[in-house]
Every structure is written in C-alpha cells, then in structure tokens.
Structure 1
Amino acid sequence: MTEAELRQEITRLARSLFERGYSVGSAGNISAAVADGYLMTPTNSSLGHLDPESLSKLDFEGKHVGGLPPSKELPLHLAFYATRPQCRAVVHLHSTYATALSCLPMDDEDDFLEPITPYLIMRVGRLKYLPYTMPGSPLTGEMIRGLKGRHAAVLLGNHGPVVSGPDIASAVYAAEELEESAKLQMLLRGQSPRHLSTRQIAELRARYGEP
C-alpha cells in the first residue's frame, strides 16, 4: 500500500469506527507505519471527519514533519512500534464497554478479559491492564515499553483500549473484537459463563499464534 493509499484507508476505517459509535467527539487516535515514519490522526480531531492530506506525518523518532500536529497520545503509539517489530498500526479508542471494564476491578491484570470466545484469543490475545495515567502522559508510553512487546493490546485504567496490529485493518478488527468481548463480559457478569478450557486456548494459540 502506498502512503497515499494508506492515508485513504486510515480515513475510511476511522470514519467507520466513528459512525458505529466506537469513538465520540474528538476521542480516539490511530497511527500506521509508512516507509519513512508514521502517519497519525491529528490532535483534537474527530475520527469521523478526517482529511487524508492533513494527517500528521512523523519520522521514526516521533518528530512532526508534516500535516497537522499529532495526537497527544503519540508516546503510547511510539512505545508499541519500539517494542513490537511486527507492529505496523496502533488504534486507541474510548469504546464504551472496554472503557467501562477499565473502571472495574478484575482478578488477572495480565489477562484482563475472560476467555469466552475463540476470536478474543486469536485477534486480541492476553489483554494487559495498565493503571491510570493522565491522557498524553509519557508515563503511559514508559509502561508499554516496560512490557517488552509481550502484549498486542492493553487496557488503560479509567481510559480505554489500545490495540496494535501488523497492518491498519488488522488493528481495527482487533479493536472491534476487543470491544465485543468486553461487551459480552459485561453482559455476563455474575452469571458464571462457560469459558474456553485451557486445552482449547492452547489449541488456538498453537494454530494461530499470539496476535
């Protein structure tokens, strides 16, 4: 995909997320790698009303080199690119159910979503919970770097999900799967749902690998 095509794809997928309620107002941000750096949604922009030519352009060090200024959440995006060589796109949303889940206590902060469906295992993997930091804080990026690439997705406490992927479409699809899994978990709270077994999870990871 050329840079021009990627700009169009980011805009198309961002609009789709916005129109289906995965982000509201100017919430959420998306980035993707290009040959000489990264493209990112601008600060204080709506995912539903992006201009492909105005997307922020950054070099590999995160220096702003073109377009509008980038989202303040740039540090967390750069942290994924620095620690996961396979990462070529990052999606950060404030989607309702995942954000609601981020406000609740859970038993396992290293695997925050219960293994209810196979696609959670296949597309999201082990969701790591990270404690609250102020939006845009460099501390968020430092915590992600501290994971050393072990998680493709994290849930920021009282804030929302961040998902990485090998391309922009994969990252968006995984973010959608995370939100659907969070919705199922919220709907099933207190009902003792049937989980995938350890053997079933191992079979999925053996066949599809970790996201």
Structure 2
Amino acid sequence: MQSSVDKTKVGKQICDALKMMYLKGLITPLTGNISVRLGNTILMTPSSFVPTIRLKYELNPEDLVEVDLNGNVVSGGKPTTELPMHLAIYNVCSKCNAVVHIHGVYSPLLKSSDLDDLFLDTELKYILKPRICFVKELIPRTHDLANAVVEKVREGCEIIHLERHGVVTVSDTLGMALELAELAEVIAERTVLQKLLSKI
C-alpha cells in the first residue's frame, strides 16, 4: 500500500484535476468523478448528494473518500454514487490504477453507430491508438451500467462512451486517464463538426 505521503499527493492531484475538468467544461459543479488505486484501497471523489458536500471544483484532499476493494469506507464520508462502476473496474483490471468519468458537451451526442466514423487525427491513429468502445444508454449509478462498462474494460477498451451520458476512461496513471478523457471529448467534438460540415 502507498504511504500517507503518496495519498496526500494523489489527493491533491485529484482535486487539481477536478478544477481543470470543470474549467474545460468536462464536468459540471456536481457531476463527474475520479478514483485512483492506492495499493489495496481506492481514493475517490465523494458523493454530491449529501447536505454538506462541496462543489467538485472546491474539493480539497481531506474531502475525498478512501474505500477498500469491497466498497467499505476506510476514511472520509460517502463515496461517489458511481462507486459500483469504479469498484467493478478495479476488480477485473489489475493494470487499471485510475478511472475518470466526465460529462462533456459533445461526447454524450455520439452513438455506437458513430464508431466507424470517429474523427481521429494522426497522433491518435498512429501513436496513441486508444481502444474506443460504446455502451448503450443505461441508468446512471446502477449495477447494469457498471456491468456494461466492465465488459468493455475486459475487452481492452480505454475510452468507453456512455450513450447520452458521458465517458469513462481507464489507465495505469491518473495523468493518462485524464488525457484520454479530454481526448474523448475532442474526438466527439471533431466528429460532430465533421458530420455538420459534410452536409454543407
């Protein structure tokens, strides 16, 4: 398990990431969540549905919640309502050390039928080559959604588009999970614009 110094560092990274995501329009004040594996525990954003919660961009490291791999709270308050999805991912993916869930502007517009027409620039096509998948519309915060996302993670997907909802990304580091989340929104925006331009 990582030391308390590492936990503090990771906590600050999560809070800084939330501020960045909010400023970039990837989350709203109460939506979106992040988690990072700390050895045998997971550090994650708290639930937005408690009376004393701060807005996502106001969170400090001490506001975060630490849970074990069974979802039992080790420290902090109530974890994100998407806890089942985060736990399910970590329990099937040993190389997944970070999960990021955004609610962008363009990404919820994409459907599975868009998979073959995604606008991927040359950097994405030939260098990063992320595995991108889609999950049909399901009710948020449910085990059905968690199970659907986990099936895609099992298939090796790193960017999972949730129809009419947002995006989940997984990686071995928080930095790369954030990179993939922002790239997912960029891909979605370019794809939507490409569709519109093709009709002019």
Deviations 1:69-113 (A, max 9, x none): 111111111222122221110000101111222xx46254xx6x6
Pair 61,28 (structure 1): closer, same or farther in 2 beyond 3 Å: same
**Alignment deviations for residues 45-90 of structure 1 (CA, whole Å, 9 cap, x no partner):** 5321112112011002222221121111111112221222211100
Q: Deviations over 1:161-187 (max 9, x none)?
A: 000111111111111111111111111
Q: Which amino acid aligns with 1:90?
A: V
**TM-score for both structures, normalised by structure 1:** 0.81
Answering whether residue 9 of structure 2 is matched by residue 5 of structure 1, we say yes
Per the alignment, do residues 23 and 124 of structure 1 end up closer, same or farther by CA in structure 2, a change over 3 Å counting? farther
**Cα distance in structure 2, aligned partners of 1:124 and 1:136:** 29
The 3-state SS of whatever aligns with 1:106 is helix
Report the CA distance between 1:120 and its aligned residue.
3.3
TM-score under structure 2 normalisation? 0.85
Aligned residues between the structures: 187
The yes-or-no answer on 1:52 pairing with 2:61 is yes
Would you tell me which structure has more helix in proportion to its own residues? 2
Structure 2 unaligned regions, length at least 5? 49-53
Partner residue, 1:195: none
- Distance in 1 (alpha carbons) for counterparts of 2:95 and 2:39: 14
Instruction: Point out the more displaced range, 52-61 or 74-83.
Output: 74-83
Give the equivalent residue in structure 2 for 1:151. 157
**Alpha-carbon distance in structure 1 between the residues aligned to 2:114 and 2:40:** 42
Residue in 2 that maps onto 1:36: 40
Q: Is the 8 A contact 2:119 2:190 kept in 1?
A: no
Distance of 2:182 and 2:63 partners within structure 1:
25
Aligned identity (percent) is 27
Q: What amino acid sits opposite 2:6 in the alignment?
A: T
On the 8 A contact 1:72/1:136 being kept in 2, the answer is yes
Contact 2:106 2:192 (C-alpha < 8 Å) held by counterparts: yes
Paired with 1:149 and 1:82, the residues of 2 have a C-alpha distance of 14
CA distance in 1, matches of 2:55, 2:155: 29
Is the partner of 2:106 in helix, strand or coil? helix
Q: Distance in 2 between matches of 1:53 and 1:145?
A: 29
Name the residue aligned to 1:161: 167
What residue number does 1:209 align with? none
Q: SS at the partner of 1:3?
A: helix
Matched letter for residue 136 of structure 1: R
1:129 alignment partner in structure 2 = 134
Q: Is the 8 A contact 2:119 2:194 kept in 1?
A: no
Give, in whole Å, the separation in 1 of the partners of 2:129 and 2:104. Answer: 15
Q: RMSD in angstroms over aligned alpha carbons?
A: 2.0
Question: Which residue is equivalent to 1:182?
Answer: 188
- Cα distance in 1 for residues equivalent to 2:79 and 2:128: 27
Q: What residue is the counterpart of 1:196 in the other structure?
A: none
Correspondence for 1:172 among 167, 178, 182: 178
Distance 1:33 1:167 in 2: 9
Give the unaligned 5+ runs of structure 1.
193-211
